[in-house]
Structure 1
Amino acid sequence: MPGSTDGTEAAGLRPLLFSIAYGMTGSVGDAEDIVQDAFLGLTRAHRAGTAIADLKPYLTTTVTRLGINHLGSARVRRETYVGEWLPEPVVVSVDRHGPAEHAELADSLSMAFLVLLESLSPMERAVFVLREVFEYGYPEVARFTGKSEVNCRQIFSRARQRVAAGAKAPDSAPPPERRAESEELARRFFEAAEGGDMDALLGMLAPDAVLYGDGGGRTRTIGKPVTEPRLGAQLLVGGFRLGRGLGASLRPVLVNGRPGVVWQDAEGRVISVIELDIADGVVQAIRSVSNPDKLRHLGPVSDVALLPGK
């Protein structure tokens, strides 16, 4: 068994390890499972008498390779996924308090960014996340992935080109001095959506704003992205109007570092999580996750939007 010193150090690494696993998988549940498996492996190594000189690279290597293996099997499931795929949302309160495991989740791991990473192979994604998001040097990336430094440089270059090719616009979190501005815009946006104020909504939407919905084929949501802002606004207003009649409400939160809300029913159960991409003073994209399998880590999930038999 690990000694108390090792146990304390390992526990302190959990937020970093979770962030790496989440960046690789886009799934809170899978990331937590990968980190747990890494800790179980550490326990087995100690029991076998294995000497571990430095826990951080040891556990980072374990999580990285478990993540690569997981992505290989997950790719098959993604190819048969019903409707639009979005990552499982990481939600914290607007004062940035949340689970300790999410403390080191980089603002760069937005939903839009994680969707772009879906175009990468498992190894490309591992190298890109380690290098681009967590800024590890190539010697470390090579150690974690089991590839040579030269190979890692080639993989990273190829991955960066593919991600750049799929990006609509640079995706970066607002600087600290603009966060309050973005959160205020989000507050007014959702207030207008709940109140049915179409003119106010359209005034806050970019001309090419897109509405995305992920219900996994199990909830009432849009089947494909809505690229007409007026139609997207109408769908939001209509959905919130129906929800209001059932006693539903919106709770302001941060979703993957961006302003958003948790939409919950009269009993406080989660219906969906909605994230706003805000840039240049307007909403560029709206992403709504209502697939219950992607919301269970947030607490009880509502059944008000479930399709019959789902």
Structure 2
Amino acid sequence: MSEAGYRPLLFSIAYGMTGSVGDAEDIVQDAFLGLTRAHQAGTTIAAPKAYLTTAVTRLGINHLTSARVRRETYVGDWLPEPVVVTADRPGPAEHAELADSLSMAFLVLLEALSPVERAVFVLREAFGYGYPDVARITGKTEVNCRQIFARARQRIAAGGKKAGRAPARDRRAESDELGRRFFEAASGGDMDALLGMLAPDVVFHGDGGGKARAIGKPQTDPRRVGQLLVGGLRRARRLGVSLQPAWVNGRPGAVLNDAEGRVVSVVELDIVDGAVRTIRSVANPDKLGHLGPVSDVARLPEK
């Protein structure tokens, strides 16, 4: 495989580390620049994949050291930047399939981990690296990596949450159909149909980052969630906003665009046992720029 062929894997590792499409792409680019400089210096890189994977992981750890400070002062719910695939917006298609294993739920859980714990957990849990490889990549001993992984798993389990997995390939059509009916009911104001698709323990998260309109705190009452969806989409239609089905982090979702085709927000659905268990809406304009021009429709006025 050519060195460029490693980009999908490298992006997914960096995205798992950062939760940011833009930061992940920058990290991958920096890793390739380091490889280019090594070549130019006459250094022989016997295993480019190992070199690049190590560089991306360690750059990700360095990035998280500074990013954690920013997230501790984040306004409202923090959600990762969405990886989106639609019929006419492939987005970062070269790495979309590998990123399927990195759901928003999984990435949010990873926020509880230290940078090194996150690196070990992502490499081991999301990408199935053996402990010898994890140790080599992170610069830790194999015994230490086993301890770090066990500690990370305990910390995530202590949160009392489970990160849903992407639907299996043979169940994608079923999930896609439920997502289609869900957004159709929400857009059409069919509350009964909508409530019939919401799990009793549904949770609705919104990320506006203090820069766009979003729900102030997670909502858990199914009827309240239904009202928020129906009312929000009704107001959006009056402003010329349309909804386009999409796959978001390997799950059914949608992209909302204004009348000029600019991105307003992205919604992801976690579907469990035939019902919508979690809804995540990202409206923070800083997290949508990788998808194209961003709309001002949902943007809050600057103070």
Fold-level similarity (TM above 0.5): yes
Whether the aligned pair in 2 keeps the contact of 1:18 and 1:101 (CA below 8 Å) is: no
Q: Who is 2:126 aligned against? A: 133
SS of residue paired to 1:105? helix
5 Å-filtered alignment, 1:99-248, equals: 99-169=92-162, 171-248=164-241
Whether the aligned pair in 2 keeps the contact of 1:212 and 1:226 (CA below 8 Å) is: yes
**Alpha-carbon distance in 2 for matches of 1:106, 1:306:** 28
Query: What TM-score do you get using the length of structure 2 for normalisation?
Result: 0.96
**Alpha-carbon distance in 2 for matches of 1:132, 1:94:** 30
Q: CA offsets per residue over residues 91-126 of structure 1, 9 Å max, x none?
A: 012699553432442432100010000000000000
Root mean square deviation of aligned Cα:
1.6
Q: CA offsets per residue over residues 114-144 of structure 1, 9 Å max, x none?
A: 0000000000000000011111111110110
Q: Percent identity?
A: 78
Q: Who is 1:75 aligned against? A: 68
Gaps spanning 5+ residues in structure 1: where?
1-7
The reply to whether residue 62 of structure 1 matches residue 21 of structure 2 is no
SS of residue paired to 2:2? helix
**Alpha-carbon distance in 2 for matches of 1:30, 1:87:** 11
**Alpha-carbon distance in 2 for matches of 1:279, 1:60:** 33
Gaps spanning 5+ residues in structure 2: where?
none
Q: Who is 1:289 aligned against? A: 282
Whether the aligned pair in 1 keeps the contact of 2:97 and 2:250 (CA below 8 Å) is: no
Query: What TM-score do you get using the length of structure 1 for normalisation?
Result: 0.94
Q: Who is 2:300 aligned against? A: 307
How far the C-alpha of 1:174 sits from its partner, in A, is 1.8
One-letter amino acid of the structure 1 residue matched with residue 296 of structure 2: D
Which of 35, 46, 50 is residue 28 of structure 2 equivalent to? 35
Q: Number of residues paired by the alignment?
A: 303
Q: Who is 2:258 aligned against? A: 265
**Alpha-carbon distance in 2 for matches of 1:97, 1:300:** 15
SS of residue paired to 1:11? helix
